[in-house]
Amino acid sequence: MTLTGAPGPVAAQTTATAIFAGGCFWCVESDFDHVDGVVETTSGYIGGTNQNPTYENHPGHVEAVKITYDPAKVSYDELLTVFWHSVDPTDAGGQFCDRGHSYTTAIFATDSEQIEKAKASKAAVTKDLGTVVTPINTAPTFWPAEGYHQDYYQKNPLKYKYYRFSCGRDATVRRVWGDKAFEGIKDAMS
């Protein structure tokens, strides 16, 4: 309120969207929820052939996470850094113990600027790692996963921690990235 009692100008709340596939969406969601500036994460399916995919029926889709973020607090470039350093982008067969197309890595850009930034970041990562198999695509329809998959790591913390450890996710990321593992994630899973 201003001194006259009239409402003052209201700053527009602006958010943006990023979509990343990095293996099990429970883990990707958990990692991005630990990034300052991320407002919301939603686990889901993207890139397949059927409408309204489910966990039991998602041919061609990959597990992915739609990230709603505040660009005033975190940039798309910073989210790309988090993504790359929380997966094994050299593995074309899936991620960690989860094998098959559903668990492969991918970046789904929502506009041409994201495509260009993703390509530039992939080129930098390729210089670091040699081979990077992660495709960069324009985002088709993102389908939210069933409710029991959303915030799984918070709803089932013991099962989630056991899964993440036994799947070898953190150990593999540390092996691939060394001291760059989990870059940009505060309180990274250990």
Residue 148 lies in a domain: yes
Residue 187: the pLDDT is 73
Residue 24 lies in a domain: yes
Residue 58 lies in a domain: yes
Q: For residue 30, give its domain range.
A: 16-180
User: Phi/psi zone of residue 129: left (φ > 0), alpha (ψ -120 to 50 degrees), beta?
Assistant: alpha
Say which of 24, 27, 97, 167 is annotated catalytic: 24
Residue 185 lies in a domain: no
Range of weakest confidence among 12-16, 86-90, 134-138, 151-155: 12-16
The model scores a pTM over 0.75: yes
DSSP 126-174: HHHHS-----EEE---EEEPPGGGTTHHHHSHHHHHHHHHHHTHHHHHH
Residue 11 lies in a domain: no
CA distances from 123 to 84, 132, 178 (A): 12, 9, 19
Q: Which residue type, as a one-letter code, is found at position 134?
A: T
CATH, residue 87:
3.30.1060.10
Neighbour tally for 23: CB within 10 Å:
27
- Note the pLDDT tens digit of each residue in 28-45: 999 999 999 999 999 999
Domains identified in the chain, total number: 1
Both tokens of 153, joined, read 């790591």
What DSSP element (H or E) covers 55? Answer: none
- Note the pLDDT tens digit of each residue in 54-105: 999 999 999 999 999 999 999 999 999 999 999 999 999 999 999 999 999 9
Residue 190 lies in a domain: no
Among this protein's residues, is 24 annotated catalytic?
yes
